[in-house]
Amino acid sequence: AQSVTQLDSHVSVSEGTPVLLRCNYSSSYSPSLFWYVQHPNKGLQLLLKYTSAATLVKGINGFEAEFKKSETSFHLTKPSAHMSDAAEYFCVVSESTGNQFYFGTGTSLTVIP
Amino acid sequence: SAVISQKPSRDICQRGTSLTIQCQVDSQVTMMFWYRQQPGQSLTLIATANQGSEATYESGFVIDKFPISRPNLTFSTLTVSNMSPEDSSIYLCSVRLRANVLTFGAGSRLTVL
């Protein structure tokens, strides 16, 4: 069975400092992994995805994530936070057939000026 | 990627009434998904809508409460019936495109008084 655990419900960083949003997953198959961002009163936007190619995945807006199979993790990072990064972030896992998607509970990122 | 339009973007409804949410996609897709996002929560899949067949509902969701139509490959509706304040949520339409990526509409924010 698939599941996703986002280890922090809230993360607060200062503008210009690094961002780390943590995600662990469990999967019986080779998973596909995604990070989505949801800005206030908006839908979900895909930040990046891992689908068994390179383990370090680069996404939009300077975000990247590293797939670590041994740790069953897919943490999202950004070297320098911007005010516009303040949003809700969701880690999502899907098995290879893509018929089911499992959402983490979300991490709310606050960026302090 | 597909562009998904949802209507209404938000609505305030009275208890006991019903509301139909529309989802229009700018390309033909086989499967459309309806999600619910309750306040401060993650996304929960309500049902999967395939064109030409009845929707498949997830555990805890029933057709009488959330009837879905899928008349063609670009359009679907979700009705929230006999609403109560517990139905206050964001309802999101989603489609799965190539590489098993979910694309979302902006959501319909429903408040039930």
Q: Which residues of chain B fall short of a pLDDT of 70? A: 99
pLDDT for res A53: 73
Residue of A95 and A104 predicted with greater confidence: A104
Residues of B in contact with A51 (CB under 8 A): 99-100
Distance from CA of B25 to the nearest CA of A (A): 15
pLDDT digits (tens, 9 = 90+) for A68-84: 988 999 999 999 999 99
Q: What burial class does residue A102 get, using C-beta atoms within 10 Å of its C-beta: 0-12 exposed, 13-18 middle, 19+ buried?
A: buried
- Measured between CA atoms, the residue of chain B closest to residue A31 is B100
pLDDT for res A98: 66
The predicted structure's pLDDT at residue B90: 94
Min distance A108 CA to chain B CA atoms (Å): 10
pLDDT at A77: 98
Nearest to B88 by CA among B28, B49, B36, B34: B36
DSSP-derived secondary structure letter, A32: E
B101 touches chain A (CB under 8 A): yes
- Interface contacts (A, B; CB < 8 Å): 42
What are the tokens at B20? 């139909």
Total residue length of chain A: 113
3-state secondary structure chain B: CCCEEEECCEEEECCCCCEEEEEEECCCCCEEEEEEECCCCCEEEEEEEECCCCCEECCCCCCCCCCEEEEECCEEEEEECCCCHHHCEEEEEEEECHHHCEEECCCEEEEEC
What's the average model confidence in pLDDT over A52-60?
87
Q: For B65-69, which contacts have Cβ atoms below 8 Å and span 24 or more sequence positions?
A: B66/B34, B68/B34
The pLDDT of residue A1: 66
In this prediction, residue A65 has a pLDDT band, given cuts at 50, 70 and 90, of very high
Q: Is the pLDDT of residue A96 over 70?
A: no
